């Protein structure tokens, strides 16, 4: 079956071209093509997963791509449990999103193009997932970036949306550059860009530790950008400008997961460097906390979820920072998070579809009008908050337990605090949106079935997915699929730790109910005064980037360069031309007054030479050609003499 793994990315990519060229002329305007392709890819992914589930070596199949000197690249697929699980996640989330979009995007100006871009997005991500070498991975990596640009800016009539699209692309591109250099470092050190060969060389200690640290840190730069980690997380909240199903796709499967996946895919490189692991862990702890706090002060329901994604991805990063014990837990969290975050976004989209606003202050009481949306959103929130026995509980608990057992106190404390904050902001979001009285002016109604079915599917997964690795009941299926080394790593389950993490979540819920149980115009947290403002202004990071880097570069520095170009560099050229004209005129005058005056009889000569010299300023090309060849001849004679 693995022979056909290449079809998994290929199908959506082919669908992209089919939709672009024929979509508008086919029934369903292209959507059925994309849905059919991703469904087929999903089925194939399941078959691939079932094939690799038994463990064993990764299966690689590659073809030569090109050779340029020492650079020999192949293109192919490298499938192991990690890749297979990711393929399933990407295709299934994409499938749910595409089906949902049929309803959500109904009547959109660019309906067909939208589905084409979704297919390209999915195919690019899948290429990144299965890539057998780093350059092929890079292709997927950057294509994912441009797809996010296209979809975030889907409604480009509004400047705000295209600004968000550019911001997303440039911010992630800023991470992509170190990422690219990290690939260079590995390529040179290993003499190959093949992921399998690199992993093997690293595991055999063939690559110097210092080199690996540099490579890992550079590669992590890319992960920071794509997975929206501090300090490059600023693009993700703005990315909410895109259609909501796109947010679900970006946040669950196709974009932000790439960074975490990359660190796992090249885990050998990271694991070989204690410095790199500490750095990953530190970024994880910082990001999970600052993002969770930010989620607390948002009024836009999508922004709550966006910061929550940043925070949860940081959870996964912190997990990876634990080293080998954190590997499976972090990927398990990536897996469960995909379902409930996709669910939350699609449910939020359903709400927005009904009330035509993102602002939770204009919602409230929607549990009555939108029961399916309400219940599924509630399930997603509980899963995200880590409530027993939903999916998020199991995966989050594994990371907390791994941090505890491996003695990473900071990560342990940070993860617990984040768990409490997560429960708090999700409680706030649920209460503001679905409880109390409706405060808006629309006429809310439940969404059509094409939108609620995907919600129900994802809700089922959000409930059940955790049982794939429910260590409390001795289930380790996921760990057998996804692990480093020959044996699955099984974290001993501790009810005491689980109780602590549940306590943290419970405290968050309780605080949320206490603060937001009754709706208030003024957010109770505003009592924190300047601290609240500091958080509300996003720690002034956006201002720093915009006013400190982007605007000075785009306006001041650019204008200075342009000025230098026009008045200094080009000024020199024009000055040279001016001097040449002056000299010519001088010679001309000299010629007329001195030569002509002295040799009165040879007026003919004067005319010719004066005329010739005057031609220098006319730009007559034939004359130049004559001068050129005469000059060449003279020089040739001179050089012969010298030689």
Partner 1 sequence: MSGWEKSAVTLAVFLPAAGALAVALVPRHLDRLIRALGILSSGAALAVGVAILFGFDYGAGRELQFELNTRWIDAINARYHVGLDGISLPLFELTLLLSFLCLVYTWRFLPEPGRPKAFVALTLLLETGMAGTFVAFDLILFFIFWELVLVPMYFLIGIWGSANREYAAIKFFLYTLFGSVFMLLAFLGMFFKGPTPHTFDLLALQEFGAAGGFSRDLQMLLFAGVFLGFAIKVPMWPFHTWLPDAHTEAPTIGSVLLAGILLKMGTYGFVRIALPVLPDAARAWAPAIGVLAVIAIVYAALACLAQRDLKRLIAFSSVGHMGFVMLGIATLSDIGINAAIFGMVAHGIITGMLFFEVGSIYDRYHTRMIADIGGGMLQKIPWLAGLFAYTAIASLGLPGLAGFWGEVMALLSAYNPSGAVSEWTTLFRTLMVFGGIGTILTAGYFLWMLQRVNLGTVPDRWRDVPIPDVTRVELVAWAPLLVGILLLGVFPRAVLGVTNEAVEALVRVFGG
Sole window of 182-190, 339-347, 368-376, 502-510 interacting with partner 1 (rule: CB under 8 A): 182-190
Strands in 501-583 per DSSP E: none
Residue carrying structure tokens 């460097």? 273
Between residues 156 and 453, which has the closer beta carbon with respect to partner 1? 156
Residues in Cβ contact with 399 at an 8 Å cutoff, skipping those fewer than 6 apart: 315, 316, 318, 319, 322, 326, 329, 330, 333, 415
CB of 126 to partner 1, least distance (A): 14
CB of 551 to partner 1, least distance (A): 11
- Of 561, 575, 586, 608, the one binding partner 1 (CB under 8 A) is 561
- Of 60, 142, 398, 491, the one binding partner 1 (CB under 8 A) is 142
**Nearest-angstrom CA–CA distance, 422 and 346:** 19
Q: What are the C-alpha distances in Å from 312 to residues 220, 232, 307?
A: 17, 15, 9
- Of 43, 577, 578, 599, the one binding partner 1 (CB under 8 A) is 577
Give residues 122-141 in contact with partner 1 (rule: CB under 8 A).
135, 138-139
CB of 461 to partner 1, least distance (A): 32
CB of 224 to partner 1, least distance (A): 15
CB of 253 to partner 1, least distance (A): 20
**Nearest-angstrom CA–CA distance, 346 and 456:** 11
Q: Which burial class, exposed, middle or buried, applies to 28 when counting CB atoms under 10 A from its CB (0-12, 13-18, 19+)?
A: middle
CB of 139 to partner 1, least distance (A): 4
**Nearest-angstrom CA–CA distance, 358 and 336:** 25
CB of 380 within 8 A of CB of 344? yes
**Nearest-angstrom CA–CA distance, 213 and 271:** 9
Give residues 624-643 in contact with partner 1 (rule: CB under 8 A).
624-625, 628, 631-632, 635-636, 639-640, 643
- Of 492, 573, 597, 598, the one binding partner 1 (CB under 8 A) is 573
User: In the structure encoding, which two tokens stand for residue 536, read together?
Assistant: 């509300």
CB of 51 to partner 1, least distance (A): 28
Q: Is 185 in the site for partner 1 (CB under 8 A)?
A: yes
Q: Is 156 in the site for partner 1 (CB under 8 A)?
A: yes
Strands in 300-447 per DSSP E: none
- Of 442, 554, 583, 630, the one binding partner 1 (CB under 8 A) is 554
- Of 57, 157, 437, 441, the one binding partner 1 (CB under 8 A) is 157
Nearest to 400 by CA among 271, 334, 498, 490: 498
Size of the site for partner 1 (CB under 8 A): 59
Nearest to 491 by CA among 402, 390, 413, 389: 402
**Nearest-angstrom CA–CA distance, 611 and 631:** 18
- Of 50, 477, 553, 607, the one binding partner 1 (CB under 8 A) is 553
Q: Is 204 in the site for partner 1 (CB under 8 A)?
A: no
**Nearest-angstrom CA–CA distance, 69 and 191:** 12
301-321 and 324-355 are packed helices; what angle lies between their axes, rounded to 10 degrees?
Answer: 170
Between residues 173 and 367, which has the closer beta carbon with respect to partner 1? 173
Between residues 178 and 323, which has the closer beta carbon with respect to partner 1? 178
Give residues 595-624 in contact with partner 1 (rule: CB under 8 A).
619, 621, 624
CB of 9 to partner 1, least distance (A): 12
Between residues 4 and 629, which has the closer beta carbon with respect to partner 1? 629
> In whole angstroms, what separates CA 165 from the centre of its chain?
12
- Of 2, 14, 40, 146, the one binding partner 1 (CB under 8 A) is 146
Q: What are the C-alpha distances in Å from 442 to residues 5, 372, 574?
A: 47, 19, 66
User: In the structure encoding, which two tokens stand for residue 251, read together?
Assistant: 């946040």
CB of 179 within 8 A of CB of 227? no
CB of 338 within 8 A of CB of 384? no
Q: Is 188 in the site for partner 1 (CB under 8 A)?
A: yes
CB of 621 to partner 1, least distance (A): 5
CB of 118 to partner 1, least distance (A): 17
CB of 292 to partner 1, least distance (A): 29
DSSP string, 242-290: S-HHHHHHIIIIISTHHHHHHHHHTHHHHHT-HHHHHHHHHHHHHHHHH
Contact mark string toward partner 1, 32..71, x via CB under 8 A: ---------------------------------xxxxxxx
Q: Is 173 in the site for partner 1 (CB under 8 A)?
A: yes
Give the three-class secondary structure for 77.
strand
Between residues 37 and 85, which has the closer beta carbon with respect to partner 1? 37
Q: Which residues bind partner 1 (CB under 8 A)?
A: 65-71, 135, 138-139, 142-143, 146, 149, 153, 156-157, 159, 162-163, 165-166, 169-170, 173-174, 177-178, 180-181, 184-185, 187-188, 553-555, 557-559, 561-562, 565, 569-570, 573, 577, 619, 621, 624-625, 628, 631-632, 635-636, 639-640, 643
């Amino acid at each position: 079956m693995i022979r056909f793994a290449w079809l998994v990315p290929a199908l959506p990519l082919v669908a992209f071209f089919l939709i672009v060229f024929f979509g508008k002329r086919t029934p369903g305007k292209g959507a059925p093509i994309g849905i059919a392709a991703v469904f087929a890819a999903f089925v194939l992914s399941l078959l691939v997963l079932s094939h690799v589930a038994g463990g064993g070596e990764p299966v690689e199949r590659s073809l030569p791509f090109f050779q340029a000197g020492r650079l020999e690249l192949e293109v192919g697929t490298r499938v192991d449990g990690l890749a297979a699980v990711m393929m399933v996640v990407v295709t299934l989330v994409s499938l749910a999103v595409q089906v949902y979009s049929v309803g959500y995007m109904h009547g959109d100006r660019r309906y067909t193009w939208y589905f084409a871009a979704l297919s390209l997005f999915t195919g690019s991500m899948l290429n990144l997932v299965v890539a057998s070498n780093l350059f092929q991975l890079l292709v997927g990596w950057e294509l994912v970036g441009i797809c996010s640009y296209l979809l975030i800016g889907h409604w480009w009539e509004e400047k705000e949306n295209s600004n968000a699209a550019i911001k997303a692309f440039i911010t992630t591109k800023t991470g992509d550059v170190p990422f690219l250099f990290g690939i260079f470092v590995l390529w040179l050190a290993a003499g190959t860009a093949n992921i399998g060969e690199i992993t093997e060389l690293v595991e055999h200690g063939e690559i110097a530790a210092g080199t690996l640290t540099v490579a890992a840190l550079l590669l992590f730069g890319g992960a920071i950008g794509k997975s929206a980690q501090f300090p490059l997380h600023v693009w993700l909240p703005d990315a909410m400008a895109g259609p909501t199903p796109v947010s679900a796709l970006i946040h669950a499967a196709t974009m932000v997961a790439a960074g975490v996946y990359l660190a796992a895919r090249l885990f050998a490189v990271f694991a070989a460097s204690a410095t790199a692991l500490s750095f990953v862990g530190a970024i994880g702890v910082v990001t999970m906390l600052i993002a969770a706090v930010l989620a607390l002060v948002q009024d836009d329901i999508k922004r709550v979820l966006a910061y929550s994604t940043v925070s949860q991805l940081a959870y996964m990063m912190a997990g990876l920072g634990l080293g080998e014990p954190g590997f499976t837990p972090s990927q398990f969290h990536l897996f469960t998070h995909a379902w409930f975050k996709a669910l939350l976004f699609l449910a939020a989209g359903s709400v927005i579809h009904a009330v035509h606003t993102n602002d939770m202050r204009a919602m409230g009481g929607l549990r009555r009008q939108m029961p399916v949306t309400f219940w599924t959103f509630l399930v997603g929130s509980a899963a995200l908050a880590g409530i027993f026995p939903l999916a998020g509980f199991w995966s989050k608990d594994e990371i907390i337990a791994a941090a505890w057992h491996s003695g990473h106190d900071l990560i342990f404390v940070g993860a617990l605090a984040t768990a409490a904050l997560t429960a708090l902001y999700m409680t706030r979001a649920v209460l503001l949106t679905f409880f109390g009285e409706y405060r808006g002016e629309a006429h809310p109604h439940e969404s059509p079935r094409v939108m609620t079915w995907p919600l129900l599917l994802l809700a089922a997964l959000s409930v059940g997915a955790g049982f794939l690795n429910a260590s409390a009941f001795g289930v380790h299926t996921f760990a057998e699929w996804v692990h480093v080394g020959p044996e699955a790593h099984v974290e001993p389950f501790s009810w005491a730790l689980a109780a602590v993490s549940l306590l943290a979540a419970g405290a968050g819920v309780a605080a949320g109910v206490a603060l937001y149980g009754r709706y208030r115009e003024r957010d109770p947290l505003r009592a924190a005064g300047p601290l609240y403002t500091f958080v509300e202004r996003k720690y002034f990071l956006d201002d720093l980037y915009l006013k400190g880097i982007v605007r000075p570069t785009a306006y001041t520095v650019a204008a200075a360069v342009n000025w230098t170009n026009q008045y200094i560099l080009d000024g020199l050229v024009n000055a040279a031309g001016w001097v040449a004209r002056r000299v010519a005129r001088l010679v001309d005058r000299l010629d007329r007054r001195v030569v002509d005056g002295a040799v009165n009889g040879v007026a003919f000569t004067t005319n010719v030479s004066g005329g010739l010299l005057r031609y220098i300023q006319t730009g007559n090309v034939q004359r130049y050609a004559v001068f050129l060849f005469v000059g060449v001849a003279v020089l040739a004679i001179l050089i012969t003499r010298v030689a």
